[in-house]
Chains A and B, each alone.
Chain A
Amino acid sequence: MTPAGGWAIDVAGLNKSFGTKRVVQDFSIQVAEGRICGFLGPNGSGKTTTLRMLCGLLTPDSGSGTCLGFDIIRQAEAIKCQTGYMTQKFSLYEDLTIAENLQFTARVYGLDDRARRIGEALERLGLQARRDQLTGTLSGGWKQRLALAAATLHEPKLLLLDEPTAGVDPKARRDFWDEIHELAGRGLTVLVSTHYMDEAERCHEIAYISYGKLIARGTAQEVIARSQLVTFHGEGPEIGKLVHELSGKPGVETVAPFGAALHVSGTDRAALEAAITPWRHAPYRWSEVDPTLEDVFIQLMGQAEDNFA
């Protein structure tokens, strides 16, 4: 079913190999216009490669589809004009000033009224007073916000963000996400890769990719529900020591300490309950809880076969 605004991203069967490594396998995804889609998966799972294929930086070995209605193979140049891409590694010129970087971007995209646009962008960022500062001297959080400003200066319709908040403090991350939501509110479609669960929960929908394959898709609630995961929350003195005893037992798929508590999860309820039975007495207290997104992802990671091994 096609949404009212159409698909901003609609690709199917994308494959990409580097040498003998199949980094992305039969990847298909549809993202409706104006949505924020979180792109999750372990390191090396093919997130960056997928983002690069979507914005024309890499040519897929096979597969087809459209971004913003343009063919990703034949009309990559048209996609580039309406897409903002923020790289994982900071990629503005550190030896240029903040204003000079924005001017470069504005000129590259052939924007009119450059002074006004740059002035507005700096105003939004609160960097007006530091416009002549060298970009390399900015802190990590500011660099990311500036990179976002540069990636959105040409008012793209699609924004691809590759781990935009890695290594950024929580306050700056929150500001960053407020900006992303504001942009999405104006109709921008955002595909953002991240490792942070709180960020995943701020997305309209998520896509989980592992070893180059899309293995979960939907809203956070849908992904949790579909996992059919049962999670027990255990508390008690030195409960952390149970990690070793529980892991590997039949029915126990993941065991993870959460501060003074323990999350034990599995899809087979009976086996899981049997596994924790030896400790189901005082002073330990157990209760069944809704699995968190993190529980689900850790389980998904464990399930995915490692085709790179």
Chain B
Amino acid sequence: MNGFSLGRVLAVLIKEFKQLTRDRLTYAMILALPVVQLLLFGFAINSDPRHLPTAVLAQEDSVFARSIVGALRHSDYFDLRYQAHSVGELDELIRQGQVQFAVVIPGDFSWRVVRGDKAQILVKADATDPAATGGALAALAALPAQALAHDLKGATAPRAVGVPPFEVIVHRQYNPEAVTAYNIVPGLLGIVLTLTLVMMTALSVTRETERGTMESLLATPLQPLEVMAGKLAPYVLIGLIQTSIILLLARFVFHVPMEGGWAGLGLGVSLFIVGSLALGFLISTAARSQLQAMQMTVFYFLPSILLSGFMFPFRGMPAWAQAIGEVLPVTHVLRVVRGALLKGQSIADMWRELAALAAFVCVVTALAMARYRRTLD
């Protein structure tokens, strides 16, 4: 009989299942992937980020100023990290990405509130990532009024009702029109490089093993680092070409502003390319087949998109998710690219990110070399 046979289907099904249980990695992946994804991304993604690092500059020491600072301190949205002493210091903190917001309470604030003369609070927001600032800015507008409700007593009591006695002026910096593309397009650079570069080298050693050419390769005097360098070098060039294409598109299609910072950008992207390739190589020394290598690449790719600050504001994630994000090189290269293009950061401004990328390259290369086997044992 050549018709459909459930028995034969069962035979195949059992065989497949048995093979699956023997391929431990695939098994682990199938089980772990949904769990990990659900846990990571279900909790981590937050389109209304809170606890954003904030610096405040109080140019007067008054009851009102203290109340506003206190209110900021108690708000979920803000995490008061710095008490600045000058406007220059505030600007530097924003530029380096240390804080998302800088709040300035001017020296004549109390005087103007009491007089009923339109008092102002100035808020500078790093709007590189518009999604990160929206909710917080809305909260900020209402916050001082509530804070001062207690302080406006006696002669100033009438000021507490009706129109607030002051206004909040918001300066969105680096991306004033809150154009999402300005944030996404430079970010895509890191994402595209991650996907293509890691995948390309993730197959390199595994392919040799699968095709049987590894045996010959190991019988030659080739050293592990030589194999690695030789395999990665062509892709460094490919990565640089990809970078150029993306930057040209960003400039001429999306009209992303380019403030400069080319030296830091070049250094950061180069480190990132080498790091991604080295990671691919590490994967290929651990994978037993090309299919496994692909699976591992995907496993790495998902958090790179979701936890790096590419799709969702980095500061909106809980601390543990941020900790994972900090380990991913793409997180740092995103900061480098956005910092250079949108803020014109210099190498000195972004040294933390560059150091993180360099550390990643070193650690991954060391691991790959430790894993690369010189023998067939």
Contact = CB atoms under 8 A, between A and B. Distances in A.
Contact of B215 (A77, A80, A87): A87
A110 B221 CA distance: 9
Interface residues of B, number: 14
B219 A56 contact: yes
Contacts of B218: 57
A59 B377 CA distance: 7
A89 interface: yes
B111 to A, nearest CB: 79
A109 interface: yes
Given A80-B219, A80-B220, A59 B375 contact: yes
A56 B218 CA distance: 9
Contact of A87 (B212, B221, B222, B377): B212
A108 B220 contact: yes
Contact of A58 (B211, B212, B222, B375): B375
Contacts of A80: 219-221
Interface in A66-124: 77, 80-81, 83, 85, 87, 89-94, 105, 108-110
Q: Which of B213, B219, B376, B377 has the most CB of A within 10 A?
A: B219
B250 to A, nearest CB: 35
Contacts of B221: 77, 80-81, 108-110
B5 interface: no
B2 interface: no
Given A55-B219, A77-B221, A91 B377 contact: no
B213 A91 contact: yes
A57 B212 contact: no
Interface in B333-377: 375-377
A52 interface: yes
A85 B377 CA distance: 17
Contacts of B211: 91, 94
A57 B215 contact: yes
Contacts of B377: 58-59
B79 to A, nearest CB: 55
A63 B377 CA distance: 16
Nearest to A94: B211
Residue among B214, B221, B376 facing the most chain A CB atoms (10 A cut-off)? B221
Nearest to A16: B377
B203 to A, nearest CB: 13
B372 to A, nearest CB: 14
A110 B216 CA distance: 16
Interface in B123-169: none
A93 B375 contact: no
Interface string A178-218: 00000000000000000000000000000000000000000
A25 to B, nearest CB: 17
Interface in B191-249: 211-216, 218-222
Tell me the dominant secondary structure on chain A's binding face.
Answer: loop
Contacts of B219: 55-57, 80, 83, 85, 87
Given A57-B218, A80-B220, A83-B219, A93 B376 contact: no
B72 to A, nearest CB: 63
Nearest to A91: B216
Most A Cβ at <10 Å: residue of B213, B214, B215, B218: B215
A109 B215 contact: no
A166 B54 CA distance: 74
Contacts of A87: 212, 215-216, 219
A132 to B, nearest CB: 20
Nearest to A162: B215
B222 A93 contact: no
A93 B220 contact: no
Contacts of A77: 221
A81 B222 CA distance: 10
B222 A108 contact: yes
A56 B375 contact: yes
Contacts of B375: 56-59
A92 B213 contact: yes
A136 to B, nearest CB: 10
Contacts of B216: 85, 87, 91-92
A91 B222 contact: no
Interface in A26-53: 52
Contacts of B222: 108
Nearest to B226: A108
B205 to A, nearest CB: 14
A276 B101 CA distance: 104
Given A52-B376, A58-B376, A85-B216, 10 more contacts: A55-B219, A56-B375, A77-B221, A83-B219, A85-B219, A87-B212, A90-B212, A92-B213, A94-B211, A109-B221
Interface of B: 211-216, 218-222, 375-377
A-B pairs, top 10 by smallest CB distance, nearest first, are: A91-B216, A85-B219, A89-B212, A108-B220, A87-B215, A91-B212, A91-B213, A80-B221, A57-B376, A81-B221
25 contacts: A52-B376, A55-B219, A56-B219, A57-B215, A57-B218, A57-B375, A57-B376, A58-B376, A58-B377, A80-B219, A80-B220, A81-B221, A85-B216, A87-B212, A87-B215, A87-B216, A91-B212, A91-B213, A91-B215, A91-B216, A92-B216, A93-B213, A105-B220, A108-B220, A110-B221
